[in-house]
Structure 1
Amino acid sequence: MEWGPLTRQDARPLAELWAAIEAEDRTGDLYAVDDVAEQLAHHLIDLPEGTIAARDGDRVAAFGYLPVKQSVVDVHMMRLWGGVHPAYRRQGLGRRIVDWSVRAAPGLSAKAFPGVPLEVHLDVHEGSQGLAALAAGSGFAAARTFARMTRRLSGGLPPLRTPAGVSIVTWSPEVDEGARQVRNESFRDHWGSVPHTRESWRTIITGSRNFRPEATFAALAGERVVGVLITHFFDAQSAHLGERQAWIPIIGTLKEWRGKGVASALIAHALAAFTSQGYASAGLGVDTHNPTGAVSVYARAGFEIIKRSTSYALPIKPA
């Protein structure tokens, strides 16, 4: 086994590794080659210092990917993203990657946010007992539970009711900055969330190959953006499902507009649009302890929990 950092030429073998992991673990995570290429070119990843891979010939048998955050509030929460091919498990590769992340994180964090408290986070899908044991054995503690929710778009869509004084418009460059500000303000009290900079918003959200502007909507009060629903489409995931699924990574409403039906109006509008655009289902992820009651809002719109995952956290002394 040869160890070293990832390069931009690893997009295809990494996509193949994700497909092998999904076939074994049923995580629901699948990425096209172009998705992986986008991640390898990301402005928040330092490929030489922030990635590691174990190679068996031309195959990537295991990898770790440790980007910095676009910003911090109180703690720099660095998420370790990675995996081990099912054919190479129980050989210590996962342990080596986790240990590497603990060593690499302080230096990476100090370059981006010197002196800021640091945590490394690791997501564990339900049923992944081996990874949960590895996390606990490495000193990580379960911190938060997240859920993946989906709903079919065939029949029974929620009624289109827009609050008085509010209009729903399709995304355009004119509402983009307002949408970013709504996302940042509405996620201020969400665990683990940090503000998007203009650069991270462009690269991760509206500049991603998966962004679908025609299926993204803003709620306006006059000319002010007070709510936003962002939609992405992952072709590899939809091919695996055998249907087109609209993925909603962001739904946000300004605090003073909560409880007035803005989020429900955005969801109803989006679901109707998804149906007319040929999608068969919609999906989203949510913190099960979300302080705004988002799980209930999504359940009323017909979404059901299909998978759960737990975020494990390890505080690390900064470099």
Structure 2
Amino acid sequence: MDDGGRVRTAAIEDAPAVCALLNAVDEIEIGAPETALKEVEEDLATAREAWVAVEAGRTVAYAAVLDAGADGAVDIDHYVLPDHQGAGLRLLDLAEARSRELAGEAGAREAVLHLHLNAAPTLDTALLAGRGWRTVRRYHVLTRPVSPDNDPVPEPPVGVRLRPCADETDRRTAHRLHQQTFARHFDFRPQGYEEWLGRIAPHAGTDWSLVWIAAVDGIGDAAVLTTRDDREGMGWIRTLGVLEQARGRGLGSYLLRHAFAVYARRGRDTVGLGVDTENVTGALRLYESHGMGVHYAVDTWELRLGV
């Protein structure tokens, strides 16, 4: 490995050092640090396994197997400083090997690994391609400035009622709506309630007032909006989903404008989200029509490994 450093399993105590690494990568890739410590703590707490490479007392690379499904699909994370590619490759070796093991344990015939990287990443993509990785999808991180003056609280469409996710019943409804509205999306993996809850609310301090359910006359609960306010630099829309039978009523537009208004009043000056550029529901067009623009692009890289 570069500079004679060492690789070891990452623990929750590594979160500040990993966060510093991710923000150093952010500075290079997008021009500003945008990773919050809480995000890193959540990933380390829920990852199937994670590793760091440390050189001269500094964490220079980080990788994690974030999730693995019964179908062999595995999501991994990987960050490396540009001049420490050797350390990055050692962590990639570990992540690939662990992914293959998890797919085998699940009874799958192959592991299908997905890794999300900035379109101009610090990781040398020629090294990825040489290992058999290929790009299969592009996402855009979109942002929009918000302010109380420019983003008033919108009136709901006729026959629509919006409520915050207040109790266990609402949370189960939000889970059901998320599973239904995202079922046809690329790379969607069904999740049971407890698994979904562990991802969206991994700690007791989760603010459920920032998750909303929209009900429509004649349909019932038909849309869900989940957001978070613990990211650096911006309020974040995690998911916005509308049931197929409720589309065409302005629900998506209303929920988006509602999020803009809420975060403007919470003191945020920017709201962001990630969107698949090939989204079949027209989400990209919706967001762009409401003034959201590209902050940076992210590519999904895929590797298939026989088990």
TM range (shorter): 0.7 to 0.9
Specify the SS of the correspondent of 1:66.
strand
2:123 is the alignment partner of 1:134: no
Q: Give the TM-score taking structure 1 as reference length.
A: 0.85
Please give the alpha-carbon distance, in whole angstroms, between the structure 2 residues aligned to 1:259 and 1:117: 40
Give the 5 Å matches for 1:266-305.
266-305=255-294
Q: Percent same amino acid at aligned positions?
A: 24
- Offset of 1:148 from its aligned partner? 0.4
CA contact (8 A) 1:147 1:307 kept: yes
Specify which of 21, 39, 52 is matched with residue 35 of structure 1: 39
- Offset of 1:300 from its aligned partner? 1.6
**Residue equivalent to 1:250:** 239
Return the letter of the residue paired with 1:26.
I
**Residue equivalent to 1:55:** 54
Specify which of 61, 69, 77 is matched with residue 81 of structure 1: 77
- Offset of 1:184 from its aligned partner? 0.5
Please give the alpha-carbon distance, in whole angstroms, between the structure 2 residues aligned to 1:161 and 1:292: 23
- Aligned residue pairs, count: 300
**Residue equivalent to 1:317:** 306
User: What do residues 222-271 of structure 1 show as CA deviations (whole Å, max 9, x unaligned)?
Assistant: 59321011111224x12xxxxxx210011001111122211111112222
- Offset of 1:294 from its aligned partner? 0.2
Distance 1:2 1:138, change over 3 A: same
Specify the SS of the correspondent of 1:193.
coil
Please give the alpha-carbon distance, in whole angstroms, between the structure 1 residues aligned to 2:172 and 2:34: 30
CA contact (8 A) 1:140 1:312 kept: yes
Distance 1:192 1:159, change over 3 A: same
Please give the alpha-carbon distance, in whole angstroms, between the structure 1 residues aligned to 2:172 and 2:181: 14
**Residue equivalent to 2:162:** 168
**Residue equivalent to 2:93:** 99
CA contact (8 A) 2:80 2:122 kept: no
Distance 1:301 1:65, change over 3 A: same
Specify which of 182, 189, 200 is matched with residue 187 of structure 1: 182
**Residue equivalent to 1:233:** 229
2:187 is the alignment partner of 1:198: no
Specify the SS of the correspondent of 1:259.
coil
CA contact (8 A) 1:215 1:274 kept: no
- Offset of 1:60 from its aligned partner? 1.9
2:58 is the alignment partner of 1:65: no
Q: Give the TM-score taking structure 2 as reference length.
A: 0.88
CA RMSD of aligned residues (A): 2.4
**Residue equivalent to 1:241:** none
User: What do residues 107-152 of structure 1 show as CA deviations (whole Å, max 9, x unaligned)?
Assistant: 12233x2225421112221223753222212111110000001111
**Residue equivalent to 2:140:** 147
CA contact (8 A) 2:80 2:123 kept: no
Specify which of 108, 114, 127 is matched with residue 115 of structure 1: 108
Please give the alpha-carbon distance, in whole angstroms, between the structure 1 residues aligned to 2:205 and 2:188: 21
Specify the SS of the correspondent of 1:53.
strand
Please give the alpha-carbon distance, in whole angstroms, between the structure 2 residues aligned to 1:264 and 1:67: 32
Q: Could you tell me which runs of 5 or more consecutive residues in structure 2 were left unpaired when the two chains were aligned.
A: none
Specify the SS of the correspondent of 1:67.
strand
Return the letter of the residue paired with 1:178.
T
Please give the alpha-carbon distance, in whole angstroms, between the structure 2 residues aligned to 1:14 and 1:301: 35
CA contact (8 A) 2:227 2:238 kept: yes
- Offset of 1:29 from its aligned partner? 6.4
Please give the alpha-carbon distance, in whole angstroms, between the structure 2 residues aligned to 1:126 and 1:289: 16
Return the letter of the residue paired with 1:206.
A
Return the letter of the residue paired with 1:80.
I
